[in-house]
């Protein structure tokens, strides 16, 4: 199908977007989406901190025994 004849939804699907995830998200209430976002943010921040901690441990000089 010619791209100019495609709807934006068809273009998104052809590009590989899983629009069922958008539909699923829109079924949630604003509060549910906010809570989901907050949990995701907390996970990302924890992973970021774990990465910093790991880099810090690997960069510390080893104490002489």
pTM score, two decimals?
A: 0.62
| pLDDT surpassing 70 at residue 1 | no
- Does residue 40 fall inside a structural domain? yes
Cα 37 → chain centroid: 9
- C-alpha to C-alpha distance for 51 and 35, rounded to whole angstroms: 24
**How do residues 12-61 score in pLDDT, each as one tens digit?**
999 999 999 999 999 999 999 999 999 999 999 999 999 999 999 998 77
Which residues form the domain of 38? 3-59
- Does residue 24 fall inside a structural domain? yes
Residues in Cβ contact with 14 at an 8 Å cutoff, skipping those fewer than 6 apart: 6
How many domains, the chain?
A: 1
């Amino acid at each position: 199908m010619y791209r100019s004849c495609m709807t934006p939804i068809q273009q998104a699907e052809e590009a590989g977007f899983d629009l069922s995830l958008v539909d699923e998200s829109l079924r949630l209430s604003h509060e549910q989406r906010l809570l989901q976002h907050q949990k995701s943010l907390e996970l990302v921040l924890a992973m970021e901190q774990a990465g910093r901690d790991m880099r810090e441990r690997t960069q510390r000089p080893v104490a002489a025994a």
